[in-house]
């Protein structure tokens, strides 16, 4: 079984709809992250969380919100989806020590029409 899972894997939605992307991990890591990837650009950080009570904005948090329901679960919400949020979204986890590598989920391909 995968250590980091994301649901759904693909989603097509319409402008203005609310959508939630979910991430679960079995690695026991404290740190969790949400990234988006657009063609020609690197992964860009949306939000990150160091534990259930610690949530922080990344470089492109506008239009997104998150919830850390438990150590193992970190959800990303688009309150009112817009077409330029069409992208590939990745959840990732890492151990407490910063220099450790991140472990990525399989990604969610989101299309906003």
Partner 1 sequence: ILNVEQSPQSLHVQEGDSTNFTCSFPSSNFYALHWYRWETAKSPEALFVMTLNGDEKKKGRISATLNTKEGYSYLYIKGSQPEDSATYLCAFPNTGGFKTIFGAGTRLFVKA
Q: Which residues bind partner 1 (CB under 8 A)?
A: 4, 31, 33, 35, 40-45, 48, 56, 58-59, 90, 94, 97-107
Least Å distance, CB 104 to partner 1, is 4
What is the greatest pairwise CA distance in the chain? 40
Least Å distance, CB 101 to partner 1, is 3
Q: Which is nearer to partner 1, 33 or 112 (CB)?
A: 33
Cβ neighbors of 50 (< 8 A, separation 6 or more) are 30, 31, 56, 96
Nearest Cα neighbor of 73 from 45, 87, 52 is 52
Q: Which is nearer to partner 1, 41 or 70 (CB)?
A: 41
Grouping H, G, I as helix, E, B as strand and the rest as coil, residue 41 is: coil
């Amino acid at each position: 079984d995968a250590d980091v899972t994301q649901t759904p894997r693909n989603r097509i939605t319409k402008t203005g709809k609310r959508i939630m992307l979910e991430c679960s991990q079995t690695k026991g890591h404290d740190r969790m992250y949400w990234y988006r990837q657009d063609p020609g650009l690197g992964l860009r950080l949306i939000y990150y969380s160091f534990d259930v009570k610690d949530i922080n904005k990344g470089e492109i948090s506008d239009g997104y919100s998150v919830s850390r329901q438990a150590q193992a679960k970190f959800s990303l919400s688009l309150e009112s989806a817009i077409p330029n949020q069409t992208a590939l979204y990745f959840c990732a986890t890492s151990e407490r020590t910063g220099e450790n590598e991140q472990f990525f989920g399989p990604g969610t391909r989101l299309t906003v029409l």
